[in-house]
């Protein structure tokens, strides 16, 4: 039967690519359950991830993900991009020295104009630092083969949330993620908790830098109990909070390179690591009783002891396991899943890899696949990973702005409870409108992702009608979506329709 009108070029291309011969050449497809599982444990599929999954199978892939190699497996060009960031070479002490130098210059400035310029320089220092921290986090999320580590790094940054807008936290956060969170993302919870308790960013954010013997500040102690470990209603008392606050006295921040002046007998008890300081002169050395256990007043050793006590609590195992399950299932998990994870926690001494494996191999997790509405981080990253499939993004400012626009910027949660983990928080009509705009920007290639620092404009829109698409998505596209895609008048429009489709919004 002759055609009554010419097929649009894109529709003709799709028809050709969808022919049996070319579809077979696209490579082995993933089953729908495998695709959904792979999308859930990563920040979205790309060709390298799919190939590795085919090579290892689900069990082998998961085992590899649970034993990450960190930046070693990053593409060389991405390693160079990260190495070029100023935060790679600077420390909180370096940044504080720069702040103090600018402050001193501002005090001695001769004119108001000079003072304003120096104030701007101080603001720029903080803004540039936090912007680079976001870039580094996103580069790893986009390109690291250790995708589960990247997902868990985000999870723990959200669980142990700090807000970049408070005080001078912008210059503390790069070290917080790099030293306290990332190394322990798949390790033992006790080590992760201890690292956050010794992090300048956390101590400043939750006011423990002001907590001293005779001037007790309970804020951090309360959040440790409510948000970081046991959870509200788990059986601890207000007295436990007060005793924990006493234990935490002396944990703080000192940007001076010289040691504080202490009594000679206290000097051996001083602990310093970069900007972190345990100052024994500010510590309450009285004996304490915490969660029914006696803790002798012996200084910094109390911190390790209390971290071990908290990490071993059944309530902590259940509370944190439930949070992890909620994150990966985007819904309130069945109690049997939490029970299994908590048992694994207790048997493994809080080994987070073992607890995660119990979750990700459970029948309830499998049953949740394909039904989770992606949060902003998952949606934007999965769109970029699919659209550009390993192509190195030069300018991450658009992605940073998208996360701000969708209400989930990195290090941007004002309160210490972290962003919501359930899908309902991210499925409003306003969210959908913004996602369509992002889909259009990515699909058209007009987002500026490949613009160079010197202002040279990058070019090129993604070709989503590619081998990866036909290998993993095309077999499972609904009739309505397939019909919409065939009506596209350009590759850019086709890209936008796919990234806006219900199939892409869920995993």
What span, in angstroms and rounded, lies between the C-alpha atoms of 276 and 90? Answer: 15
Using CA atoms, how far residue 204 sits from 21, 103, 170, 214, 275, in Å, is 62, 20, 11, 19, 11
Q: What is the pLDDT of residue 454?
A: 81
State how beta strands 276-278 and 271-273 pair: antiparallel
Q: What is the pLDDT of residue 235?
A: 94
Tokens of 478: 């609904």
Contact 369, 40 (CB under 8 A): yes
State how beta strands 276-278 and 288-290 pair: unpaired
Place of tokens 């090129």: 460
Can you spell out the DSSP letters for 338-361?
Answer: HHHHHHHHHHHTSBHHHHHHHHHT
147-159 and 47-65 are packed helices; what angle lies between their axes, rounded to 10 degrees?
70
pTM for this model (two decimals): 0.93
Q: Which one, of 277, 215, 218, 268, lies nearest residue 244 by Cα?
A: 218
Rounded to 5 degrees, φ, ψ at 215 are: -140, 65
Q: What is the pLDDT of residue 27?
A: 58
Contact 396, 451 (CB under 8 A): no
What span, in angstroms and rounded, lies between the C-alpha atoms of 119 and 189? Answer: 41
Q: Which one, of 75, 87, 67, lies nearest residue 389 by Cα?
A: 75
Can you spell out the DSSP letters for 364-433?
Answer: HHHHHTT-PBPPHHHHHHHHHHHHHTTPPPS--HHHHHHHHHTT--TT--SSTT-S--SGGGG-SHHHHH
Other beta carbons less than 10 A from residue 73's beta carbon: 12
Place of tokens 């010289």: 258
What span, in angstroms and rounded, lies between the C-alpha atoms of 410 and 137? Answer: 9
Domain ranges of the chain: 9-65+372-505
**Largest Cα–Cα distance of the chain, in whole Å?**
98
CA angle 151, 153, 156 (to 5 degrees): 110
What span, in angstroms and rounded, lies between the C-alpha atoms of 125 and 117? Answer: 12
What span, in angstroms and rounded, lies between the C-alpha atoms of 377 and 381? Answer: 6
Can you spell out the DSSP letters for 244-300?
Answer: HHHHTTTEEE---SSPPP--TTTGGG-EEETTEEE-GGGS--S-EEETTEEE---TT
Using CA atoms, how far residue 74 sits from 141, 407, 492, in Å, is 10, 29, 29
What span, in angstroms and rounded, lies between the C-alpha atoms of 266 and 417? Answer: 36
Using CA atoms, how far residue 473 sits from 27, 35, 290, 477, in Å, is 12, 8, 53, 6
Contact 309, 317 (CB under 8 A): no
Q: What is the pLDDT of residue 162?
A: 98
Place of tokens 């540039």: 128
Contact 89, 98 (CB under 8 A): no
Using CA atoms, how far residue 502 sits from 63, 373, 507, in Å, is 31, 9, 10
CA-based torsion, 329, 334, 337, 339: positive or negative = positive
What span, in angstroms and rounded, lies between the C-alpha atoms of 255 and 488? Answer: 58
Q: State whether residue 477 is helix, strand or coil.
A: coil
Contact 14, 465 (CB under 8 A): yes
Spatial strand order of the sheet with 276-278 comes to: 251-253, 276-278, 271-273
DSSP state of 233: T
Tokens of 235: 């059986």
Q: What is the pLDDT of residue 223?
A: 98
Q: What is the pLDDT along the chain (507 residues), one digit of tens a residue?
A: 333 333 343 443 444 334 334 343 445 789 999 999 999 999 999 999 999 999 999 999 999 999 999 898 999 999 999 999 999 999 999 999 998 899 889 888 888 898 899 899 999 999 999 999 999 999 999 999 999 999 999 999 999 999 999 988 999 999 999 999 999 999 999 999 999 999 999 999 999 999 999 999 999 999 999 999 999 999 999 999 999 999 999 999 999 989 999 999 999 999 999 999 999 999 999 999 999 999 999 999 999 999 999 999 999 999 999 999 999 998 899 999 999 999 999 999 999 999 999 999 999 999 999 888 999 999 999 999 999 999 999 999 999 999 999 999 999 999 999 999 998 899 999 999 999 999 999 999 989 999 988 888 887 789 899 999 999 999 999 999 999 999 999 999 999 999 999 999 998
What span, in angstroms and rounded, lies between the C-alpha atoms of 171 and 201? Answer: 9
Please compute, for residue 457, the number of CA atoms within 13 A of its CA located in the half-sphere on the CB side.
Answer: 6
């Amino acid at each position: 039967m002759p055609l009554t009108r010419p097929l649009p070029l894109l529709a003709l291309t799709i028809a050709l690519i969808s022919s049996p011969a070319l579809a077979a050449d696209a490579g082995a497809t993933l089953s729908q359950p495998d695709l959904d599982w792979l999308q859930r444990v990563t920040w979205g599929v790309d060709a390298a991830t799919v190939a590795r999954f085919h090579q290892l199978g689900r069990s082998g892939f998961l085992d590899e993900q649970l034993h990450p190699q960190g930046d070693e497996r990053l593409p060389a060009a991405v390693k160079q991009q990260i190495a070029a960031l100023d935060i790679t070479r600077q420390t909180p002490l370096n940044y504080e020295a720069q702040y103090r130098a600018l402050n001193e210059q501002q005090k001695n400035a001769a004119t108001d104009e000079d003072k304003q310029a120096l104030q701007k320089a101080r603001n720029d220092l903080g803004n540039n630092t936090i912007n680079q921290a976001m870039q580094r986090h996103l580069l790893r999320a986009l390109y690291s083969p250790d995708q589960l580590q990247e997902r868990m790094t985000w999870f723990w940054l959200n669980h142990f949330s700090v807000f970049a807008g408070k005080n001078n936290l912008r210059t503390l956060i790069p070290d917080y993620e790099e030293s306290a969170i990332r190394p322990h993302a798949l390790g033992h919870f006790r080590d992760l908790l201890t690292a956050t308790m010794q992090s300048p960013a956390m101590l400043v954010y939750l006011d423990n830098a002001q907590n001293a013997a005779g001037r007790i500040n309970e804020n951090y102690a309360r959040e440790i109990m409510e948000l970081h470990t046991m959870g509200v209603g788990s059986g601890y008392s207000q007295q436990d909070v007060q005793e924990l606050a006493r234990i935490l006295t002396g944990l703080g921040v000192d940007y001076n390179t010289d040691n504080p002046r202490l009594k000679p007998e206290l000097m051996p008890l001083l602990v310093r690591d970069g900007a972190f300081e345990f100052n024994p002169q500010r510590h309450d050395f009285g004996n304490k009783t915490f969660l029914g256990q006696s803790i002798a007043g012996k200084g910094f050793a109390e911190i390790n002891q209390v971290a071990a006590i908290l990490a071993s609590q059944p309530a902590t195992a259940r509370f944190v396991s439930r949070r992890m399950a909620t994150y990966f299932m985007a819904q309130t998990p069945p109690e049997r899943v939490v029970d299994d994870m908590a048992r694994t926690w207790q048997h493994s001494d809080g080994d987070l890899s073992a607890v995660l494996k119990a979750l990700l191999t459970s029948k309830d997790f499998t049953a949740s696949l394909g039904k989770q509405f992606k949060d902003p981080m998952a949606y934007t990253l999965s769109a970029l990973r699919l659209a550009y499939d390993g192509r190195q993004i030069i300018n991450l400012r658009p992605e940073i702005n998208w996360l701000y626009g969708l209400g989930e910027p990195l290090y941007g949660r004002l309160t210490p409870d972290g962003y919501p983990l359930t899908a309902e928080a991210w499925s409003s009509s306003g969210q959908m409108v913004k996602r369509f705009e992002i889909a259009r920007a990515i699909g058209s290639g007009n987002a500026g992702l490949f613009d160079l620092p010197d202002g040279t404009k990058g070019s090129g829109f993604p070709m989503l009608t590619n081998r990866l698409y036909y290998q993993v998505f095309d077999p499972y596209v609904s009739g309505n979506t397939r019909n919409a895609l065939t009506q596209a008048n350009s590759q850019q429009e086709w890209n936008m329709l796919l990234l806006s489709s219900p199939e892409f919004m869920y995993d």
